[in-house]
């Protein structure tokens, strides 16, 4: 509360850039907003109360209030290019867009009430056309942009936005980019156009068979992660096989990891890995699934999975005989993911090496360390290793030629690692804001194009990012 000698008003100061001298100081009673392109007007949001009810337009030349426009739940204000109109967005139950004339001090048009169950905030981006006759606003359901006529508020057209995406994978022939959450969507990677939506249920695991004929996913990831396993025929996109395993309350979701591989007919289990078999093309096809990390070599002869006695270990199984061949310690605490290179030469693992130790309530010492390792599949010796102090697990993927590893080590920070030398070619970065629900750093959050020249990253609410690599 202001004292008797204090002025409760704020000020807007105008300075001359060439000399750095103060030209004018104008009092304002509201939260400062944008200034018009011609420098004459400033639009401010009234700051009184929990729900702002109006927009104040001040003439900066006289420091006098020109208009006060009444609108509930004001969020953002935007000027038109000619400084004669303003667009005001609102949130909550009145979510929408109003257009006001500064010359007349009256409303031009208003469109409200279109709700977005995902995005509860108001329209956060507005832009006028150069002639001021149309206005674009975003984001509408689902992530779309709408163009409206300023005079009437009538919708002229709508541009569909990118859907949420986190898990992505590329078909071996490079013709299909598949993303998940929400739904499972097949896209043309050349232009991003949707080819087909296979299911509207969310998934967080997408796997192509080595020959690209089959695609497997675990729809039903929300609210019960990995509740089912579905296999599609990529020639027709028809469902080739489906199973809903019984959930074990002591082990978690039954379908969290998926891998295609060879097995003898009737062989349906290797340690904790379960096998779904179906007949197609005159032979038995097998897709493995489980609650823990697993991977199958490209020739289908070897299954790698998390050790049962120690989560630090990787166990190797012969898919033809069902015999365990050997086990080795991959990480000091736990192995988080497994993946073979396309030529079978390398096994990629991510895992946790240490964790912060509590020394008192809410007080910790040390750091949580994670590593990405590449193992020689002929000797099972560690070939390359890179360490990151993190609090979340990493997402990593091998390039099709097995020469590079792409590692997402933070939100929007991707590192490219040379497998042979272990050296980094530096980070790729993009603005990807963390999200408070849904998959985060999915085990398939990165995907190379078939020729290795492009890298796709599921950015969840921001859609899919694409990098061209050199």
What tens digit of pLDDT does each residue of 38-48 get? Answer: 888 888 877 66
For residue 93, the 8-state DSSP code is: G
Contacts of 309 (CB under 8 A, 6+ apart): none
Listed ranges 61-70, 136-145, 427-436; the one with the highest mean pLDDT:
61-70
| Measured distance CA(69)–CA(64) in Å, rounded | 15
Q: Which of 224-233, 246-255, 259-268, 280-289 has the lowest mean pLDDT?
A: 246-255
Contacts of 241 (CB under 8 A, 6+ apart): 229, 230, 231, 276, 278, 285, 287
Listed ranges 17-21, 190-194, 321-325; the one with the highest mean pLDDT:
321-325
Query: What is the predicted pLDDT for the residue at 189?
Result: 86
Range(s) within the chain of domains with CATH label 2.130.10.10: 10-159, 167-468
pLDDT band at 364 (very low <50, low <70, confident <90, very high): very low
| Measured distance CA(388)–CA(413) in Å, rounded | 12
| Measured distance CA(401)–CA(410) in Å, rounded | 25
pTM: 0.65
> What b-and-e string marks burial along 307-338, b requiring 16 or more CB atoms within 10 Å of the CB?
beeebbbbbbbebeeeeeeebeebbebbbbbb
Q: What is the fold, at CATH topology level, of the domain defined by 10-159?
A: Methylamine Dehydrogenase; Chain H (2.130.10)
Integer Rg of the chain from CA: 28
Q: Which of 65-79, 117-131, 165-179, 337-351 has the lowest mean pLDDT?
A: 117-131
Give the residue with greater pLDDT, 27 vs 158: 158
Residue that has been written with the tokens 């569909």 in this structure: 160
| Residue 92 φ then ψ, to 5° | 70, -145
CATH for 167-468 (2.130.10.10, 3.40.50.12160, 3.20.20.210, 1.20.1340.10): 2.130.10.10
| Measured distance CA(360)–CA(365) in Å, rounded | 9
| Measured distance CA(394)–CA(330) in Å, rounded | 15
Question: Is a pLDDT exceeding 50 seen at residue 312?
Answer: yes
Nearest to 168 by CA among 418, 414, 422: 414
Cis previous bond, 139, omega within 30:
yes
* Cβ atoms 456, 446 nearer than 8 A: yes
Assigned token pair, 5: 């000698």
* Cβ atoms 147, 155 nearer than 8 A: yes
Cα dihedral 450, 438, 94, 137, rounded to 10, equals -20
* pLDDT tens digits, one per residue of 297-307: 999 999 999 99
Give the residue with greater pLDDT, 80 vs 45: 80
For all residues of the chain together, what is the average pLDDT? 81
Q: How many CA atoms lie within 13 A of 96 on its CB side?
A: 16
Q: Are strands 64-70 and 54-59 parallel, antiparallel or unpaired?
A: antiparallel
Question: Is a pLDDT exceeding 90 seen at residue 316?
Answer: yes
Burial of 272 (0-12, 13-18, 19+ CB in 10 A): middle
pLDDT band at 359 (very low <50, low <70, confident <90, very high): very low
- The SS3 assignment for 420 reads coil
Any bridge partners for residue 135, and if so which?
A: 128, 148
Q: Determine how many CB atoms are found less than 10 A away from the CB of residue 251.
A: 12
* Cβ atoms 65, 57 nearer than 8 A: yes
pLDDT band at 186 (very low <50, low <70, confident <90, very high): very high
Query: What is the predicted pLDDT for the residue at 251?
Result: 63
Query: What is the predicted pLDDT for the residue at 119?
Result: 55
Q: Determine how many CB atoms are found less than 10 A away from the CB of residue 224.
A: 11
Classify the phi-psi angles of 131: left when phi > 0, otherwise alpha if psi is within -120 to 50, otherwise beta. alpha
Q: State the average pLDDT over residues 369-384.
A: 94
* Cβ atoms 230, 242 nearer than 8 A: yes
Q: How many CA atoms lie within 13 A of 408 on its CB side?
A: 27
Query: What is the predicted pLDDT for the residue at 282?
Result: 87
Q: State the average pLDDT over residues 48-69.
A: 78
Query: What is the predicted pLDDT for the residue at 325?
Result: 96
């Amino acid at each position: 509360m202001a004292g008797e000698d204090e002025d409760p008003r704020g000020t807007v100061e105008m300075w001359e850039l060439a000399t750095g001298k103060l030209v004018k100081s104008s009092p304002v009673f509201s939260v400062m907003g944008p200034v018009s392109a011609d420098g004459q007007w400033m639009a401010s949001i009234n700051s009184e109360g929990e729900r702002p009810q109006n927009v104040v337009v001040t003439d900066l030349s006289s420091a006098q209030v020109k208009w006060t426009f009444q609108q509930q739940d004001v969020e953002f204000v935007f000027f038109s290019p000619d400084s004669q109109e303003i667009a005001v967005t609102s949130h909550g139950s009145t979510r929408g867009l109003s257009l006001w004339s500064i010359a007349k001090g009256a409303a031009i048009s208003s469109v409200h009430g279109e709700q977005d169950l995902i995005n509860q905030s108001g329209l956060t981006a507005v832009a006028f056309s150069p002639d001021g006759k149309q206005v674009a606003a975003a984001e509408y359901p689902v992530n779309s942009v709408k163009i409206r006529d300023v005079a009437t508020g009538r919708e002229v057209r709508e541009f569909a936005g990118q859907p949420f995406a986190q898990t992505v994978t590329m078909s071996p022939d490079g013709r299909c980019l598949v993303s998940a959450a929400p739904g499972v969507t097949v896209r043309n990677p050349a232009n991003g156009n949707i080819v087909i939506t296979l299911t509207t249920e969310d998934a967080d695991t997408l796997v192509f068979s080595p020959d690209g004929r089959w695609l497997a996913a675990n729809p039903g990831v929300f609210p019960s992660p990995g509740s089912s396993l579905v296999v599609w025929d990529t020639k027709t996109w028809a469902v080739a096989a489906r199973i809903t395993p019984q959930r074990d309350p002591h082990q978690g979701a039954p379908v969290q990891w998926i891998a295609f591989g060879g097995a003898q007919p009737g062989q349906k289990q290797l340690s904790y890995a379960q096998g779904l078999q179906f007949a197609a093309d005159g032979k038995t096809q097998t897709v493995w699934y489980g609650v823990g990390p697993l991977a199958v070599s490209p020739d289908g002869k070897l299954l790698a999975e998390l050790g049962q006695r120690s989560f630090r270990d990787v166990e190797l199984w012969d898919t033809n005989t069902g015999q365990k061949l050997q086990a080795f310690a991959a990480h000091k605490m736990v192995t988080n993911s497994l993946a073979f290179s396309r030529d079978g030469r390398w096994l990629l693992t991510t895992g946790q090496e240490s964790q912060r130790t509590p020394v008192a309530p809410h007080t910790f010492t040390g750091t949580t360390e994670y590593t990405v390792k590449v193992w020689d599949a002929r000797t099972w010796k560690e070939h390359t290793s890179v360490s990151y102090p993190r609090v979340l697990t990493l997402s990593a993927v091998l390039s099709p030629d097995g020469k590079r590893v792409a590692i997402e080590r933070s939100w929007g920070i991707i590192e490219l690692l040379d497998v042979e030398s272990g050296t980094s070619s530096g980070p790729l970065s993009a603005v990807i804001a963390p999200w408070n629900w849904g998959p985060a750093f999915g085990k398939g959050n990165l995907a190379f194009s078939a020729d290795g020249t492009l890298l796709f990253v599921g950015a969840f609410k921001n859609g899919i990012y694409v990098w061209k690599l050199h």
